[in-house]
Structure 1
Amino acid sequence: MGQVLSLSLLSQLYPIHASHFTVNDIPDLTGRVVLVTGGSAGIGKETVAALLAHNATVYLAARSPAKAHAAIRELKERTGREAVFLELDLADLASVKRAAEEFLEKEKELHVLFNNAGVMFPPHNQLTKDGFDLQWGTNVVGHYALTKGLLPALLAAAQSSPDGKARVVTTSSMAAYLNTIHWDTFRARPGRDKLTRYALYEQSKHANVVFARELGRRYGHQGIVSMSVNPGNIVSELQRHMNPVLRWIAHRFIYPTPYGALNQLWAGTSPETADFNGKFIIPWTRAGECRRETNDPEIGRRLWAQLEEDTHV
């Protein structure tokens, strides 16, 4: 890893500049429809809270109805507004398809999609219902299928919006810098066994950036503004699979959960980012550069073709 990249990562781990953007800078979102995956906990829940407080219609997509409804009740107490539950299991493509269809039955337009949910460091033997590595299937395949399923509403929102834009914000991680895509590791195959669960997470977050940029290449001319985000070094439920000692140490050096929502809220709502198609947002609220591989059109095309083949979407 080069010296410049090392310094970039250090500046993202411990940003020396405060964010110029706060949740108070979010414009009025009356009439805007937003969907947040993983909205029942962590960064997703903080994102939903800020959107509700600024009058958006927010669909909180989550796997567990019990956790989702508890979060919706809590958020109503905090904001005075109520999110709409959308049942979604990103590790099950049939569930993803149902969720997209249910949304399209209720709404004609989707102004902002936050592909926020994810899993990190689960046991190595865990797979999705469709046989993908759990981290790849949830973080990459599920969000690809959901985004493609919701494209009619995103395109309709872009056509009717005053600025001609709809936005897709995909949550990546600093881990995107630490690995690239290993094309023989997506399912339970020998190639996958060569990677640790940490490397499998890193490649999924790297692929999030590749996906976001390829989405922007393919649909930017139709008004889709696609960005990816490193939310920062944040307290999150994602860390539940970490070794307890490592988790305790990590929590001594990371930022409170609300900080993690800032980058994606800036990307998804600020007039400043309306023309940030393909950008990678880093702490706090600034555009940065990920690994050069994430911006390679050939890798983007290959990933897209692989996801089309694997999902039939």
Structure 2
Amino acid sequence: MGAQFSQFFPGKPTYTAANVGSQQGKVFIVTGGYAGIGFELTKILFAKGGKVYIAGRSEEKAREAISKIREVVKDSNGGALEFLHLELDDLSSIKASAEEFKSKESKLDVLWNNAGVSQPPLGSVSKQGFELQLATNCLGPFLFTQLLMPLLEAAVPQADTNSVRVVWLGSQMIELSAPQGGINISELFNPPKDKVRTYTTSKVGNYFLATELARKKGGKGIISVSLNPGAANTSLLRNTPWMKVLSLPLLYKAELAAYSELYAGLSEDITMEKNGCYVVPWGRIQPIREDLANAAKTKEEGGLGRAQEFWDFCEEKTKEYM
């Protein structure tokens, strides 16, 4: 319980923009980078000289965010901000987004799979008919990451050691609410009429995708991590205003949660030996719940093999859109 208490009340951040050196020459994507935690993260990366692509469905919101960031950041140290159209709930559109990025860049240093949806109206589905949270939080990011893998691999020879990464956004709900083993595979095909349960499933899914990608691509120099960014007062809670009111004493500024993502994406603490690790607020590596860690291990490693099952599920559901 102490591990959970420290995530509810993390104390002062020890990894902030002050710890980040120049990011000139680096290329980043932050999905959902025009609002909330993603906006704050984008602002830091831009101020450090990075070229940041804000990926999302609304160009208008992205342009507004870019204007706000440029107003606040007086010296970007050579940084750049770009919009990349991306609709994570429409698998048929994601390849075009990846191709657009490839037409502009030859490498990708860090991909932050930051965008997500939380507890939309019961019965909400994606363009392809998948439960909306599973589609937006897992299937879309999985496909987008797979399509961008050649550019992540291309960044490795040019990058500092351990610096090419994929970051997956989880939640404290993973440890507080997930069933033993993290996911009931049958629920992927027949989602329960419980939007909290399906949200938790999608966030455990992000953790599993992070550990599987670390296993599959660590040998090629790519680090993959997941995190609980911390409870932030953002628009993610727009579908549950009652929850926002009840949890207000535990909500923090989005800037603090952005430090968790910043740490996951850039901290030198995260090495290849810690590939697949789990990050908690406001930037610390911490062991995840034991049964979840066991579920992420392969059966050959003595684990449950649930992460591999979830990866295979995502691969099967997205293969026609590759």
Normalised by the length of structure 1, the TM-score is: 0.93
| Within-5 A mapping of 1:98-247 | 98-163=96-161, 165-177=163-175, 178-179=177-178, 180-186=182-188, 191-192=190-191, 194-242=192-240, 244-247=241-244
Does 2:273 align with 1:271? no
Cα deviations across residues 24-62 of structure 1 (Å, max 9, x unaligned)?
111110000000001010000001000000000000001
Which 5+ residue runs of structure 2 have no aligned equivalent? 299-304
Q: Rate the CA distance shift 1:303–1:246 in 2: closer, same or farther, 3 A.
A: closer
CA displacement at 1:20 relative to structure 2: 1.5
Partner of 1:60: helix, strand, or coil?
Answer: strand
Does 2:20 align with 1:26? yes
Does 2:11 align with 1:12? no
**Kept in 2: contact 1:176–1:207 (CA 8 A):** no
Equivalent residue number for residue 307 of structure 1: 314
Does 2:49 align with 1:52? no
Letter in 1 for 2:243: L
For 2:101 and 2:122, the matched residues in 1 are separated by: 33
CA displacement at 1:22 relative to structure 2: 1.3
Partner of 2:33: helix, strand, or coil?
Answer: coil
Equivalent residue number for residue 250 of structure 1: 247
**Kept in 1: contact 2:122–2:193 (CA 8 A):** no
**Kept in 1: contact 2:56–2:86 (CA 8 A):** yes
CA displacement at 1:86 relative to structure 2: 0.2
Equivalent residue number for residue 3 of structure 1: none
Cα deviations across residues 122-171 of structure 1 (Å, max 9, x unaligned)?
01111000111000000010110010010000000012213264111111
**Kept in 2: contact 1:157–1:165 (CA 8 A):** no
For 1:164 and 1:21, the matched residues in 2 are separated by: 17
For 2:239 and 2:314, the matched residues in 1 are separated by: 27
Letter in 2 for 1:8: A
For 1:305 and 1:12, the matched residues in 2 are separated by: 31
For 1:274 and 1:150, the matched residues in 2 are separated by: 22
CA displacement at 1:260 relative to structure 2: 0.8
Does 2:266 align with 1:259? no
Letter in 1 for 2:7: Q
Cα deviations across residues 259-303 of structure 1 (Å, max 9, x unaligned)?
110111012112222433100001121111223334322112211
Which 5+ residue runs of structure 1 have no aligned equivalent? 1-5
For 2:6 and 2:206, the matched residues in 1 are separated by: 21
* Range moving further from structure 2, 286-295 or 154-163: 286-295
For 1:56 and 1:83, the matched residues in 2 are separated by: 8
Cα deviations across residues 183-214 of structure 1 (Å, max 9, x unaligned)?
23335xxx31x341001001111111110000
For 2:152 and 2:122, the matched residues in 1 are separated by: 35
For 1:296 and 1:62, the matched residues in 2 are separated by: 33
**Kept in 2: contact 1:87–1:99 (CA 8 A):** yes
Equivalent residue number for residue 293 of structure 1: 292
Give 4+ residue runs of structure 1 displaced > 3 Å after superposition: none
CA displacement at 1:253 relative to structure 2: 2.2
Partner of 1:102: helix, strand, or coil?
Answer: helix
Root-mean-square deviation (Å): 1.4
Identity of aligned residues (%): 35
Letter in 1 for 2:2: L
Normalised by the length of structure 2, the TM-score is: 0.90
Partner of 1:100: helix, strand, or coil?
Answer: helix
